[in-house]
């Protein structure tokens, strides 16, 4: 058996790079699907000090991540009961549990949700991370942004470098993770040519750069679609060729 054949016969390790608590959720789903998965969080989420906006000056909240609710602190209690636009189901669930009235849940990012904004919601408070995508404000609306958390990059985790010396597949949940992984591999002298990347969307994959064994995007920006893509890419790696979408 050649080295290439031997590598294809081995289960392709799945590297989960997102921070907790999302990392453990993805790990459980991956292992339930029969994948050999490992968590190597490349970021640590920390709260940032921020100046609240008076509730009377806010019509609705704009939420791009559940991290805004996890790390926003006690000042968030002033907004309970307000309408909220949530970027995905996980964020929407966290918003409901917090006591917000989720009126819309998006699947293609916050910008798409703004195109269907309720006319009554002209003053939006965006609770965001320090690293975020800039939004185009709809005509007649105002978006006030408060940075309530930051994703701090971490050095190459123990054990991750060893896994990357042979074929592996990394899950990319954010553009920051894509860019940081690229930097870590380059700094450690880890070749990209045998590492496959599954990205949650095109904006994320664009941050990864080139030279990888394979780079594909999930059909929709959610964890289920990303894991389905990872499973397909594992099949492709085992068969030694690229399966059609």
CA distances from 30 to 10, 137, 221 (A): 17, 37, 16
Cα separation, 204 vs 222, in Å, equals 13
163 and 124 inside one domain: no
With beta carbons less than 8 A apart as the criterion, state whether 61 and 100 touch.
yes
**Beta strand residue intervals within 10-100, DSSP E:** 14-16, 37-39, 43-47, 60-63, 83-86
Decide the pairing of beta strands 43-47 and 142-153.
antiparallel
Could you give the number of structural domains in the chain? 2
| The last residue of a domain, from among 152, 181, 216 | 152
143 and 174, same domain (yes or no): no
Q: Are residues 27 and 77 in the same domain?
A: no
- Whether 244 is in a domain gets the answer no
The answer as to whether 245 is a domain residue is no
Evaluate whether residue 124 is within a structural domain: yes
* pLDDT > 70 in the chain, percent: 93
Q: How confident is the model at residue 10 (pLDDT cuts 50, 70, 90)?
A: low
Q: Are residues 158 and 144 in the same domain?
A: no
Does the pLDDT of residue 243 top 70, yes or no? no
Q: Residue 242's pLDDT band (boundaries 50, 70, 90)? A: low
pLDDT of residue 241: 60
Q: Mean of the per-residue pLDDT values for the chain? A: 91
Verify that 51 and 147 share a domain, yes or no: yes
Tens of pLDDT, residue by residue over 81-119, are 999 999 888 899 999 999 999 999 887 678 888 888 999
Residues 60 and 147 in one domain: yes
The CATH number of whichever domain residue 104 belongs to comes to 3.40.50.10090
Reported as type and span, the H/E element at residue 38 is strand 37-39
Do 36 and 57 sit in the same domain of this protein? no
Q: Is the pLDDT of residue 20 over 50?
A: yes
Per-residue pLDDT for 5 more than 50? no
Clarify whether residues 14 and 75 are in a common domain. Answer: no
Is pLDDT above 90 for 133?
Answer: no
User: For 209-237, how does the pLDDT look when each residue is reduced to its tens digit (9 = 90+)?
Assistant: 999 999 999 998 889 999 999 999 999 98
Domain boundary among the residues 152, 180, 202 is at: 152
- Among 152, 185, 218, which residue terminates a domain? 152
User: Hey, what are 15's tokens?
Assistant: 């590297």
In which domain, by residue range, is 148 found?
45-152
The answer as to whether 97 is a domain residue is yes
């Amino acid at each position: 058996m050649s080295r290439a054949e031997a590598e294809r016969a081995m289960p392709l390790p799945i590297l989960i790079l997102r921070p907790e608590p999302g990392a453990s959720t993805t790990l459980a789903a991956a292992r339930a699907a029969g994948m050999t998965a490992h968590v190597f969080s490349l970021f640590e989420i920390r709260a940032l000090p921020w100046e609240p906006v008076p509730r009377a000056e806010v019509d609705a909240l704009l939420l791009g991540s559940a991290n805004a609710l996890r790390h926003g602190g006690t000042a968030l209690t002033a907004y309970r009961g307000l309408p909220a636009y949530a970027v995905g189901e996980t964020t929407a669930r966290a918003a409901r549990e917090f006591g917000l009235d989720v009126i819309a849940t998006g699947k293609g990012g916050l910008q798409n949700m703004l195109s269907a904004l309720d006319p009554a919601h002209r003053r939006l408070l965006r609770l965001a991370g320090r690293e975020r995508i800039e939004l185009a404000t709809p005509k007649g609306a105002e978006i006030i942004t408060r940075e309530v958390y930051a994703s701090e990059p971490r050095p190459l985790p123990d054990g991750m470098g060893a896994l990357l010396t042979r074929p592996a597949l990394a899950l990319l949940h954010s553009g920051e993770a894509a860019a940081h992984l690229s930097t870590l591999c380059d700094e450690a002298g880890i070749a990209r040519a045998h590492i496959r990347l599954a990205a949650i969307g095109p904006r994320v994959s664009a941050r990864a750069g080139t030279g990888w064994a394979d780079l594909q995007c999930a059909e929709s920006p959610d964890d289920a679609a990303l894991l389905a893509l990872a499973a397909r890419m594992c099949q492709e790696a085992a068969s030694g060729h690229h399966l059609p979408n």
